[in-house]
Each structure stands twice: as C-alpha cells, then as structure tokens.
Amino acid sequence: MINITFLGTVSGIPSLNRNHPAIVLEYFSNYRDVFLFDCGEGTQKQFMKSDLSFMDIEKIFITHWHADHFAGLIPLIQTMNLEKRQKPLTIYGPEAERFVSDILDLGYFGLRFPVKAVNVPFEGNEITTIYETDDYEIQSIPVLHSVPTVAFCFKEKDRWNIDEKKLAEFNIKKGPWLKKLKKEGEIEYKGKKIKIKDVGYVKKGLKVVYTGDTKPCENVGKISKDADVLIHDATFLEEDVSEKAHASVKDAAKIAKKVNVKQLILTHISRRYTNLDELEKEAKEIFKNTIIAKDLMKIKVK
Ligand SMILES: [Zn+2]
C-alpha cells in the first residue's frame, strides 16, 4: 500500500493557503519507507501540520533546482541536525552533487549525519533506475522545462500471490514452503514438483509518477504507462498558457488518457486560481478520474 501526502501544491509564487511543492510517499509492506519528492520553502512546517514526521524521511528526490522545489532543503537539513538525526540522508536530482554541496556550504553549521547526493541523468529518453530494493524501484526520466528537470516514478515490483482454490486442487497445505515457492518458483511437495504458475497469479505492482515541472512531454507518457497515479504539473488553464515551461490542465489530462493511467492528480497550480472547480471541470472533460491537489491532501493507493 502507498500513501501520498501533498504538503505543497502551488506553482512559483506561494499563496496563503498553498505552499511550494513537496510530496511525501509512504510505502507500506511489513515495514514503512518514507520518501520526499521536492522540498519547497516551508516544507518542514507543512510536515508539522500533517501527521508525518520529517525525521522518518529516507531519501529526497528533487525534480529540478528552482527555489520553489528545493529552498526547503536548507532549513530541513539543519532542523534534522538539531533534532539529532544520525541516519544517512540521500538526495537525488539532476546535478544533485553540485547543488547539495552548495546547500551544505551555506551558513555556519556542523553537519552531524551523512548527506549523500546522487546525480540523475537529465538528457535523453531513457528511464533510469536510480534506487532498487527487493520490493520496489525508483526511476527517473528527463522532462521538458526551462532548466534540467526529471520526473520520478515509484514502481512496486510485480509479485506472485497464491490462489487458495488452486492450492486445494493440488492438495497443498499452507506453510513455509509457499514462501519458498514464491521466491524460487518451484518446490518439491510430497514427492511432486510444484511450479508457482500452477498455484499462483501475478499481482501487478503499484506505480506512482510525479512529473515535476514540465511542458507536455513524450517522456512523461513513456514513464507513466498504465500508472496507478500520475501527479502532473498543471500550472494553468488552457486560455492562460503564456509561457512554454509548464503544462496546462488540458495537456496533463490528454497525457493521462493517452497512456491509460488510473488516476490523475493535478498540482503546481498557479496562485491566480482560487476556484479550483474550473480546473477540475476542464480536466474532466478529457480525463474523468482527475483530482486537483490541495495542501495536506492524502491519497491511498492500493
Ligand atoms: Zn515550479
């Protein structure tokens, strides 16, 4: 299961009730992993307003180095330090090594926990796996903004589940051998060879994509194919698009439809829109299952 919490949902200039971009993704298995995507100004205070703790963050993923997406890193790292964080923190992003090093050099403070930076590719059309465990992987792909920018994808791995009816057909009892069967694909049970495909089925892993800032982009479609959730830049309504660095509500809805995502969540909304119904209506004309993100909104993905 995945929880997504939107800590900030506005575009370049914040408003009184919308903060700069920051999205928390919690992955639940028999453990909980917590990731932060973008970290705009005020992110640590948004954490305090939510039911989450910034001390739980394992890794941070920055889509690009515009202040609305990273300025919260400076105070967040220093607060973690004051709160005596010891576990390492890894920050991923295009040119992350350079910018994280700059951030750590700012002001007077002695860092007491390891902060590692990992550069991710920001040119070309390849999907790159930047972090992987037995249960999931985190990927990136370059997108189209005015500076080097990437989209990120959290992708749970497909896994075998056991079909209890088939177990009964094969006369197999439940027990630790099923774990082995799922892991190794084949076991010997009472002198008979049993294959996982005889008694199991593949459960597709969950997939969540966050585009960061981008104008309509083929690479977003590529990494979002059949995603459970696509969180897309939707800075403007179609009629207000005046610059070419962002997507409109319609652009995002068209991509969601084209690549068959289950749910579209629009974020990075310009402060000029106070009535979000208008945005929702425009998106839903193209893609029905659309939500407009609000600060502190939480979504469960199962
Ligand atoms: Zn932005």
Distance from Cα 143 to the centre of ligand 1, integer Å: 13
| Lookup result for tokens 């990731």 | 35
Residue 254 neighbours by CB distance under 10 Å: 17
**Type of residue numbered 30:** N
Distance from Cα 131 to the centre of ligand 1, integer Å: 24
Distance from Cα 52 to the centre of ligand 1, integer Å: 23
DSSP state of 236: B
- pLDDT value, residue 243: 67
Distance from Cα 130 to the centre of ligand 1, integer Å: 22
Q: CA torsion angle for 227, 286, 19, 224 (degrees, to 10)? A: 20
Token digits for 279? 């945005």
Enumerate the active-site residues.
68
User: Can you give the pLDDT of all 302 residues of the chain as single tens digits?
Assistant: 999 999 999 998 899 999 999 999 999 999 999 999 999 999 999 999 999 999 999 999 999 999 999 999 999 999 999 999 999 999 999 999 999 999 999 988 889 999 999 999 999 999 999 999 999 999 999 999 989 999 999 999 998 888 888 888 888 888 888 888 888 888 888 888 889 988 899 999 999 999 999 999 999 999 999 999 999 998 877 777 766 788 889 999 999 999 999 999 999 988 888 888 888 888 889 999 999 999 999 999 99
Distance, in Å, from the CA atom of 240 to the CA atom of 33, rounded to the nearest integer, reads 39
Angle at 284 between CA 278 and CA 290, to 5 degrees: 95
- pLDDT value, residue 247: 83
CA atoms within 13 A on the CB side of 227: 28
